[in-house]
Chains A and B, each alone.
Chain A
Amino acid sequence: MANIISDETMEYVGILAKLELSEEEKKQAESDMGRMLDYIDKLNELDTTGVEPMSHVFPVNNVFREDVVVNGDDRENILKNAPGVKEGAFKVPKTVE
């Protein structure tokens, strides 16, 4: 494996992804990510001069909706997914800006 993921990088990626991993899981993830980067290095060996970057895998564009209201009030159903409910709102732990 050419790419070595350091413990610091693993820590940082974990914070960004809001993941708490055990030591064992971290080691596994470091090795997985190292192999992914190896694969990217392999792709980088290809000469892509003059090739348009691909934006989407499907050869489809301009999929639009018309600006018409089709959804009514479905609050009761939507709130079934909430961790907690108060006064019609999703109740979450205190967040201070």
Chain B
Amino acid sequence: MAKQYETVIGLEVHVELATKTKIFCGCSTEFGGAPNTHTCPVCTGMPGSLPVLNKQVVEYAIAVGLATNCTITQYCKFDRKNYFYPDNPQNYQISQLYLPICRNGGVEIDTPAGKKIIGIHEIHMEEDAGKLVHDEWEDCSLVDFNRSGVPLIEIVSEPDMRSAEEVIAYLDKLRLIIQYLGASDCKLNEGSMRADVNLSVREVGATEFGTRTEMKNLNSFKAIARAIEGERARQIELLEEGKQVVQETRRWDDNKEYSYAMRSKEDAQDYRYFPDPDLVPIVISDEWIERIRKAQPELRTEKLERYKKEFDIPDYDAEILTSSKVLADLFEATTELCHKPKKVSNWLMVETLRLVKENDMEVEDIDFSPENLAKLIELAESGAINSSVAKEVFEKIFKEDIDPDKYVEEKGLKSVNDEGALRATIEKVIADNPQSVEDYHNGKEKAIGFLVGQTMKAMQGKANPGMVNKILKELL
């Protein structure tokens, strides 16, 4: 009988914190500026420059630690991790090895077999590196240090996951917690959340772990799932052939659906960590922790309960809306303006999510204002525009965040509610289509649909369908 294998997975998740400035200097963390426009002597590692810790980084790290049930290390400090690479101008990365800020936590995930706790070994604070771009023309590399010094937390899980589904559930949970805390936007595609997967396989029933590999370059949930399947298959094949799995770092190529061993930097594992003498220790008092605990915003579970009680929407809607901080914020802000929770929910759950999917976006990329959605709902509910016009206007809001009042006015999309004008048009439609009128009188209910269509066409789609129906029946 073929051997049965179990996959053992641990994750190292890097999250860029949502601070305005870098971890050790007053440079902006804004994404996408021209190369090196957000740099100073500190984040380019100039000799003699001195790092000073951004307090907000510590506060975010503590908040994430508390929300993931960790113990906060009340006396912690920074260490230097030494390695040479052009994206790291100091030749060391400031990180935490000996006394990471959070330890021994965990989050609960749902699996087909029930609830399961994924342990968190530690969370530490560190700085991000710069960005290297290869220049084909001159066959050289170009370094942009805008990202150098952007604050990161690295969340190191225990090797508690056994499948790609569990990994995705864990990442989803972390992402939701961190987004709700406002500590990061956690966009995988922009790199503000990055996951390295440590994976090994062993025979079912074995107590020892197999040799693990680490996989990098995973920038979507789909890529993570595919990489896990691919690496599991690769390792099992090696074992079946009687070969050894080599402990190494591999880079996942999502197009080729295969991972490649990364050229090992010479003796890269010897980082010679030591305490950073430029940074003084951090002492975190009980009061400080309590203050952060009290200021913790409402997390998903509480929000879900509140939605079910406070708003007249189905439980299913509440589940979907609270599954993303962006959706939940939009829902609440829009409902606050128009007081029609079910209508708001419908626009978000149906049209918004449809457009997100069609445009191959993430929910985090939604970027229209609650004011404009609220105005659109008013327009549709008052009958000022009909439902097909409303959908059309919504697409403009979704894409360009236009003001629907202005847009409808400018494009002349208002429904014609003027009964006199409508009546005249319908009279003409009836006169022009005697066959349909006869069909209708002969009991073909469907014929009225054709007449409604003709009327809408004559009114350029701007008639109020309810009114058209009413007048048609009356005249017939």
Contacts and interface: CB of A to CB of B under 8 A. Distances in A.
The 9 closest A-B pairs by CB, nearest first: A70-B26, A89-B142, A64-B55, A67-B56, A90-B143, A88-B35, A73-B37, A71-B27, A89-B35
A16 B272 contact: yes
Central interface residue in B39, B263, B277, B282, by most chain A CB within 10 Å: B39
A93 interface: yes
B86 interface: yes
Contact of A94 (B34, B139, B280): B139
Nearest to B275: A55
B85 A89 contact: no
Contacts of A97: 251, 262-263
A78 B279 CA distance: 23
Interface stretch (A24-32, A34-42, A79-87): A79-87
Interface in B1-43: 19-21, 25-28, 34-41
Contacts of B139: 94
A1 interface: no
Given A65-B26, A69-B21, A92 B86 contact: yes
B133 interface: yes
Interface of B: 19-21, 25-28, 34-41, 44, 46, 52-56, 58, 75, 77, 82, 84-86, 99, 132-135, 138-145, 251, 262-263, 266-267, 270, 272, 275, 277, 279-283
A91 B140 contact: yes
Interface string A53-84: 00111101111111111110111001101001
A56 B280 contact: yes
A66 to B, nearest CB: 6
Given A18-B84, A86-B135, A58 B280 contact: yes
B282 A67 contact: no
B202 to A, nearest CB: 30
Please indicate which of the listed interface residues A15, A61, A71 has the most CB atoms of chain B within 10 Å of its own CB: A71
19 contacts: A16-B270, A56-B280, A62-B280, A62-B283, A64-B54, A65-B53, A66-B55, A70-B21, A70-B26, A71-B28, A73-B37, A75-B37, A78-B44, A86-B138, A86-B140, A89-B143, A91-B140, A94-B139, A97-B251
A96 B136 CA distance: 12
Nearest to A79: B36
Nearest to B34: A88
B436 to A, nearest CB: 68
Given A55-B275, A78-B44, A15 B142 contact: no
Given A63-B280, A90-B36, 11 more contacts: A55-B99, A61-B280, A68-B20, A69-B21, A87-B35, A88-B34, A89-B133, A90-B142, A94-B141, A95-B132, A96-B263
A21 to B, nearest CB: 16
Contacts of B144: 88-89
B136 to A, nearest CB: 10
B275 A67 contact: no
A16 B83 CA distance: 8
Contacts of B21: 65, 67-70
A56 B89 CA distance: 24
A4 to B, nearest CB: 21
Interface band, chain A: 35 or more
A52 B370 CA distance: 55
A61 to B, nearest CB: 5
A71 B33 CA distance: 14
Contacts of B283: 61-62
Given A56-B281, A90-B142, A74 B39 contact: yes
Given A71-B40, A74-B40, A93-B140, A64 B52 contact: yes
Contacts of A68: 20-21, 26
Nearest to A60: B280
A56 B274 CA distance: 11
Nearest to A12: B267
Nearest to B89: A90
B102 to A, nearest CB: 18
Contacts of A64: 52-55, 58
A34 B132 CA distance: 39
Nearest to A73: B37
A15 B281 CA distance: 31
Nearest to B24: A65
Contact of B28 (A69, A79, A86): A69
B54 A65 contact: yes
Contacts of A58: 280
A62 B38 CA distance: 26
A93 B280 CA distance: 35
A74 B28 CA distance: 12
Contacts of A12: 267
A79 B46 CA distance: 11
Contacts of A96: 134, 263
B192 to A, nearest CB: 17
Nearest to A64: B55
A9 B85 CA distance: 22
Contacts of B140: 84, 86, 91-94
Contact of B86 (A16, A81, A88, A95): A95
